[in-house]
Structure 1
């Protein structure tokens, strides 16, 4: 990949772990629509918000205006950030970093390539950028990031890690 559009949840998770550079190293340029940016940094006291703001200042993340929503997204029951991210990924014809189940379904219905946070971690481990995915997943779970037991088990299996 050389470009990815990101939704807020993965950005916040990676920011809280101080791994925004890792997303860039794996996926290339990170673009976010204005609505996603606002979701991430509207309250700078929230975990990860300042790191995301700093990542934009450093050029790790590029903030763009929200594109016009396709009619098919206007009535979709996903949040405004997910709609804007999907619309931007469609406009830029690139993959989307998205973890929410319904958002992933909608993105796939629009023929987008969907990458999840766990996929970024697996690729990073395979490239030798991180030693293990398990500790990062454990950290995210401690933050309250919702990861199903099945997903964690599958990611650990693919990473050839044990609990």
Structure 2
């Protein structure tokens, strides 16, 4: 399974000390060089990523699609979406709404940090999603609408 990630999910999971969920769920993820560069601005994140043998850094295609995406998205998002399309990835990990909308328009299957937490609970890797969402909100300033928060708790039977 080819899984490409944008910066957001990796950063968020690193900050709540749940990056291991990506390996447990997907065995390997691919990040474009632009995403690696964004993640590398924080030395601790760079060191953590360099030690992981299940994270592959790959050059995104400098295609017409990529150039078009650069007009409306940041470089990391544009590279992640272009790489997902080019590599026919089964899944794109992305949190930002604009990028998610563009990916959906291109027919790219996607999920974000919250979807990863839900999958992890479904696979028995987490006993509860609520404390992880609370950590995201408190420690990473992750924004989640209260209706979505409650909807996720209902979905995973934690209401």
Fold conserved between structures, TM > 0.5 = yes
- Specify the alignment match of 1:105 in structure 2: 101
In the TM superposition, what is the alpha-carbon distance from 1:52 to its structure 2 partner? Answer: 5.2
Given the alignment, which residue of 56, 68, 88 partners 2:50?
56
In the TM superposition, what is the alpha-carbon distance from 1:91 to its structure 2 partner? Answer: 1.2
**Cα deviations by residue, 1:72-117 (Å, 9 ceiling, x for unpaired):** 4242x11111000001111111110011111000011111001111
- Specify the alignment match of 1:47 in structure 2: none
Structure 2 gap ranges (5+): none
Distance 2:97 2:151 in 1: 16
- Specify the alignment match of 1:24 in structure 2: 23
The 10-residue stretch of structure 1 (133-142 or 20-29) with the greater mean CA deviation from structure 2: 20-29
- Specify the alignment match of 1:150 in structure 2: 147
Distance 1:60 1:17 in 2: 19
Given the alignment, which residue of 66, 88, 91 partners 2:83?
88
- Specify the alignment match of 1:120 in structure 2: 116
Distance 1:149 1:79 in 2: 27
Distance 2:118 2:2 in 1: 18
**Cα deviations by residue, 1:16-35 (Å, 9 ceiling, x for unpaired):** 11211101211331110011
CA contact (8 A) 1:56 1:63 kept: no
In the TM superposition, what is the alpha-carbon distance from 1:151 to its structure 2 partner? Answer: 1.8
